Structure 1
Amino acid sequence: MATTTAEQPLSKLNIFSGKGVQMRAFHITWLTFFFCFFGWFGIAPLMPLVREQLHLDKGQVGNILIASVSATILARLLVGRLCDSLGPRLTYSMLLVIGAIPVMLIGLSNSYESFLLFRFVIGIIGASFVITQFHTSMMFAPNVVGTANAVAGGWGNLGGGIANIAMPLVAGAFVSLGYVDKANSWRLAMVVPGVILLLMAVVYYKFTQDTPRGNFSDIQRDTTAKKKGTFAVALKDYRTWILALAYGACFGIEITVDNVASIYFVDHYKATLVMAGLLAGFFGFMNIFARGLGGYVSDIAGRAYGMSGKWYLLGVLLLLEGLGIAYFSQAGTLTLAIMTMLLFALFLKMANGCTYSIVPFVNKQAIGSVSGIVGAGGNLGAMLVGFLFKSENISYSTAFLYIGIGVAATGAIVFLSRLLTTKTSEVPALADTELQPA
């Protein structure tokens, strides 16, 4: 039976429209991801208060940083498979309910060990990104899916930046209203994002569907890849691993900066808690356009030069990001630090968007699994660089310098890997000509 236009993926993204199943899903999914990011990093700008009250040393803060992104690795792998089987609607709704619990309860922590455990479990919320990218991939056609994924991901990632700005103000509001003292304000403040996550679970379940044609349970689907095992199919493709490495060098660094920026500005430049949160928020606020810009430029490169254009663009963006981080690490004044931070943030977030403009083309029958593995690569990158920030022998500035060098090297690897495979005439899963204009 032929599908109608309303039941097909959209070939045009109109961000000002909420009409139709596709655009309704687009707006609900990025907004849900926004609040997931808000809850995931809501405690980050309040860490100076937590550090003082729980008497945490540098190594313990570093362990908390690592824990905050570790659970997300396994969660993204699992969620990717669930998307392929249950669909994004049910998967997202369940994740939101489960993730809201540790967000609301982290305020019960009274020791380093209990706080570390809650921070670890909260990390499962980061798997929301995989569902967001999967859902938009279902709703948009190949010619625009890179832009749609990038805009949805970028606007969602914005939640981390807004959390850095808003959570110190939320904590301060509870203090001014007399509900709690400053030292304990972080405890009550974290209830707010937890409640929002529960509300978004209801919204997602009631107002979205898995595909333009309906939910997975109501439509006939091609189960060929499912029988083979979508996860195994994704694992066998080397491009999955190259993209995972690239995502570790862009998104992995993004969530690391979301976690440490406030402490870095407080300790290194003597900024106040509110000012440090505001500056960290500037970094996250770049997502309002930069990730979408990366996806948009990647789609243009794809139409003009095929898949090779997308890959080469990703390599260049990572190289520029790495150089920007290296300059940021050597900034001698707060003004210069802000300028260089915004510079590398632009390339970093564009690289995020560019990476996930490639993901839907690796294997159309295993989009969820590929997305999950690549997304997990982002968190694995964050976990590994987290060890730099816990070391007593490495300053935060030196850690950023090492990160910049590593990211630039990753950009070179991405660029060269595509160059070498193209020379050997390896045929990609989606032919370059399919992305070029007729």
Structure 2
Amino acid sequence: MNTLSSGEKAVKIDLFSLGTIQMRTFHLTWIAFFLCFFGWFSHAPLMNASIGPDLGLTAAQKTLAFIASVGITIIARLMIGSLCDKIGPRKAYVYLLVFGAFAVASSAFAYDWTTYLISRLAIGVIGASFVITQYHTSVMFSPKIVGLANATTAGWGNLGGGVTQAVMPLLASGMAVWGFSNSEWAQWRSAMFVPAIIMLVVAFLYWKYTTDCPKGNYDDLPNDRPQAKKGEKGLFADAASDYRVWVLFLMYAGCFGMELFVNGKAATYYQTRFSLDETSAGLIASLFGLMNLFARSTGGWLGDKFSVKSGLTGRVRWLVVVMVIEGMLLMIFSRMSLLPSAVGMMIFFSLFVQMAEGATYSVVPFINKRSLGAVAGIVGAGGNVGAVFYAQYMLRTGTPLEDCFLIFGAIVSVIGLVGFSIKFSEVDERNAVEEQLRLEAIPV
């Protein structure tokens, strides 16, 4: 039985191998996404004690900066999905990594509210990296394990959001060793060059060691490039006309949108509610993102497992269950008044948030294979729409963060139930089974 056949989708994840294009792509996608996520949220843990005082930002401006950084990603994700269909995920990721490196580094030159807002808008574009990650693993792995592959690369990439909460305060403090503490360059400014440099290195590796699909690059394989036939809808229009895409858009707003919101506010929450210092709050907040090490993979893996007996419908049912539980746990977390219980419940809540994300993208590859990039982009943008909604609600109503969590938890549970409306035809179910059987029958 084939496991990692050259030129075909892989039917197995050989985690410790770099000998095939599928596994090189697997590892480079999550590493690239990790760095983009790290750079995207690198400002969050430094906002209260470093960036805010340095630039004289108000509380409202801090929230608006978060909204800008997350909101611009909505547009970027919609565009990057279609870009993957047109030029291939390899070029798309390299271009985005290079842009992101310059955006993160350039934020060090912000000197007032206007320039800082512009820099956060630029940095927000790299949040579109998620769509390329999901696109690239979807074309490299078979239906049997695509949920696990998508969830693992996205989950390990999302670790960047947790790691940056712990590392950036330490990195900024460590800049004093290099003589930046008493210079015109504040410690937080000099720290921004570290992720930028690493992103450029990974851009080079991505260009050199990946291809658009198992057979090669789209430039050399015009017949393998996704394209609309004469008389058919364009790829984006085709995806946007499917109601299931918008249901998944809404559900992703309820899970990844919540993760983005919590990533941006967790450190602040622990500083204000439990009177912790910046470093301690950042370390605790990092636990939320660190659950991505296995939680999102678990969600995708279970989606694959439920599909064995219940087909594509089994994937949807699992997504509904995990999202409803996510919302309930968020409501419980909002009522925790003691630090140990709050941390414990946050970790438990994080497990279900990220399992819901993995479950969502175990469904996405089966919605519309011809418009995969557009579907991935629209659904991915849903997460950012959710995060912007949560932040705008808090900003405009002045509701305390703990009460926002209570309200949002109820909303998430209701959204989860909407997933029952996602249906697949008998043809869709049969095609998924036939593709898997064909790949497993190919000799090594």
**Counterparts in 2 of 1:20-99, with a 5 A limit?**
20-48=20-48, 49-99=50-100
Aligned-residue offset at 1:116: 1.5
Q: TM-score, normalised by structure 1?
A: 0.94
Which of 349, 354, 357 is the aligned partner of 1:352?
357
Moved more, 82-91 or 382-391: 382-391
Equivalent residues in 2 for 1:114-193, closer than 5 Å = 114-181=115-182, 184-193=186-195
Specify the alignment match of 1:398 in structure 2: 403
Query: Aligned in 2, Cα 1:237/1:272: closer, same or farther, shift over 3 Å?
Result: same
Is the CA contact (8 Å cut-off) linking 1:262 and 1:276 kept in structure 2? yes
Cα deviation, residue 388, structure 1: 2.7
Cα deviation for residue 225 of structure 1 reads 4.2
2:223 matched to 1:221? Answer: yes
- Equivalence for 1:430: 428
1:13 and 2:24 correspond? no
Q: Secondary structure at the match of 2:428?
A: coil
Work out the CA distance in 1 between the residues paired with 2:5 and 2:174: 49
Match of 2:348 in 1: 343
Q: Report if the CA contact (8 A) 1:306-1:433 is conserved.
A: no
The correspondence of residues 103-114 of structure 1 with structure 2, limited to 5 A, is: 103-114=104-115
Equivalent residues in 2 for 1:225-374, closer than 5 Å: 225-227=227-229, 228=232, 229-374=234-379
Contact (CA 8 Å) 2:9, 2:140: kept in 1 or not?
yes
Is the deviation greater in 47-56 or in 321-330? 47-56
Q: Give the Cα separation in 2 of the matches to 1:295 and 1:321.
A: 15
* Partners of 1:59 and 1:391 within 8 A in 2: no
**Aligned counterparts of 1:244 and 1:123: Cα–Cα separation in 2:** 19
- Structure 1 distance, partners of 2:276, 2:426, is 50
Q: Does the residue aligned with 1:350 lie in a helix, a strand or coil?
A: helix
Aligned partner of residue 143 in structure 2, secondary structure? coil
For 1:54 and 1:435, locate their aligned partners in 2 and report how far apart those are by CA, in whole Å.
Answer: 57
The 3-state SS of whatever aligns with 2:91 is helix
Note the alpha carbon deviations across 1:83-104, whole angstroms, 9 max, x for none.
1110011111111111211200
Contact (CA 8 Å) 2:85, 2:225: kept in 1 or not? no
Cα shift readout 1:286-339 (whole Å, capped 9, x = no counterpart)? 000000000000000111111111111111111111111111111111111101
Contact 1:59 1:392 in 2 (8 A): no
Alignment CA distance shift 1:35-1:429 (3 Å) = farther
Aligned residues: 428
The one-character-per-residue Cα deviations of 1:228-269 (angstroms, maximum 9, x if unpaired) are 311011001111101111111101111111111111111111
CA contact (8 A) 2:160 2:289 kept: yes
Q: How far, CA to CA, are the matches of 1:370 and 1:110 in structure 2?
A: 39
Displacement over 3 Å in runs of 4+: 222-225, 432-438
How far is the alpha carbon of 1:432 from its aligned partner? 6.0
Superposed CA offset, 1:24-55 (max 9, x none): 11111111111111111111111112122223
| Gapped regions of structure 1 (runs ≥ 5) | none
Deviations 1:134-167 (Å, cap 9, x if unpaired)?
Answer: 1101111111111100000000001111111111
Q: How does 1:384-395 map to 2 (within 5 A)?
A: 384-391=389-396, 393-395=398-400
- Residue 195 (str. 1) matches residue 193 (str. 2): no
* Counterpart contact for 2:218–2:225, Cα < 8 Å: no
Distance (Å, rounded) in 2 between the aligned partners of 1:210 and 1:220: 12
Inter-partner Cα distance in structure 1 for 2:339 and 2:426: 46
Structure 2 residue ranges without an equivalent (≥5)? 438-444
Contact 1:307/1:432 (<8 A) preserved: no
The amino acid that maps onto 2:281 is: A
Amino acid at match of 2:214: P
Deviations 1:172-211 (A, max 9, x none): 1002433225992111111111111111111111111111
**In 1, Cα distance between equivalents of 2:106 and 2:224:** 42
Partner SS, residue 143 of structure 1: coil
Q: For the residues of structure 1 that align with 2:97 and 2:225, how far apart are their CA atoms?
A: 27
Matched residue type, 1:383: V
Q: 1:346-383 CA deviation, whole Å, 9 max, x = no partner?
A: 00000000000111100111111100000011111111
C-alpha distance in structure 2 between counterparts of 1:340 and 1:244, whole Å: 27
CA 1:314–1:282 in structure 2 vs 1: closer, same or farther (change >3 Å)?
A: same
**Aligned partners of 2:218, 2:95: CA distance in 1, in Å?**
16
**Whole-angstrom distance in 1 between the partners of 2:315 and 2:260:** 24
Change (3 A) 1:428 1:336: farther
Q: Is the 8 A contact 1:60 1:390 kept in 2?
A: no
Distance in 2 between residues matched to 1:286 and 1:181, nearest whole Å: 37
